[in-house]
């Protein structure tokens, strides 16, 4: 089932596409890159769309490099709660170790794939750092089930499956 928001995004994307065809869209200035420069979302006074010199991917890479972050870290810095994600499971160490009545022994090899940010009270819109906790996928599944977090209101609207 497609979310209304998702549909709106596709429609918006289509409109943008149609609009952008009118302007001459430059290529990314990185050698060997065939992508177009990223549209900046605004226009000059005479209606010419503004583009970055870099494509979306290379723009992200450059910005992350400037800040000394990995691309994932830089992207997550804009996310309402992913920026609070730690690089270990909090059920394994730190002040919440053993919080789920057992100590996590999952070995974290790829933090960005294995770790989630959990909303402790189950409310997916409460992004207070005190309400956020980093859990590995295993512990997150157990926590969600134990506390019936999947029943909290507003999950469907946000497109959260569990």
Q: Is 100 in the site for Zn ion (CB under 5 A)?
A: no
Per-residue string for binding with Zn ion, 26-55, x by CB under 5 A? --x-x--x-x-------------------x
In the complex with Zn ion, which residue's Cβ is closer, 25 or 153? 25
With CB under 5 A as the contact rule, the residue among 37, 51, 89, 149 that binds Zn ion is 89
Comparison of 26 and 159: residue with beta carbon closer to Zn ion:
26
CB 29 → Zn ion: shortest distance, Å? 8
Q: How far is the CB of 38 from Zn ion (least distance, A)?
A: 9
Angle at 137 (CA atoms; ends 116, 129), nearest 5 degrees: 25
Least distance to Zn ion, CB of residue 47, Å: 26
- Which pairing describes strands 132-136 and 115-119: parallel, antiparallel, or unpaired? antiparallel
Nearer to Zn ion, 1 or 113 (CB): 113
Chain length of the chain: 162
- Interface residue with Zn ion, options 76, 106, 123, 152 (CB under 5 A): 106
- In angstroms, what is the minimal distance from the CB of 60 to Zn ion? 10
Query: How far is the C-alpha of 159 from the C-alpha of 53, rounded, in Å?
Result: 34
- Which residues neighbour 44 within 8 Å (Cβ) at sequence distance 6 or greater? 50
Among 118, 120, 124, CA closest to 160: 124
Pick the piece of the chain touching Zn ion (CB under 5 A) from 9-17, 101-109, 119-127, 147-155: 101-109
Q: Does 71 bind Zn ion (CB under 5 A)?
A: no
User: In the set 104, 115, 132, 133, which binds Zn ion (CB under 5 A)?
Assistant: 104
**DSSP 8-state assignment for residue 59:** H
């Amino acid at each position: 089932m497609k979310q209304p928001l998702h549909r709106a995004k596709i429609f918006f994307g289509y409109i943008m596409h149609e609009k952008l065809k009118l302007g001459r869209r430059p290529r990314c200035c990185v050698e060997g890159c065939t992508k177009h420069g990223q549209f900046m979302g605004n226009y000059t006074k005479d209606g010419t769309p503004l583009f970055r010199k870099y494509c979306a991917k290379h723009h992200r890479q450059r910005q992350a490099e400037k800040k000394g972050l990995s691309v994932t870290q830089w992207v997550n810095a804009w996310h309402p709660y992913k920026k609070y994600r730690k690089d270990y499971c909090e059920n394994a160490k730190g002040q919440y170790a053993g919080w789920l009545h057992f100590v996590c022994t999952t070995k974290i090899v790829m933090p960005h794939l294995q770790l989630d940010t959990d909303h402790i009270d189950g409310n997916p819109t409460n992004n207070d750092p005190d309400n956020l906790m980093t859990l590995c996928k295993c512990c997150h599944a157990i926590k969600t089930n134990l506390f019936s977090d999947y029943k909290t209101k507003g999950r469907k609207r946000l497109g959260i499956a569990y």
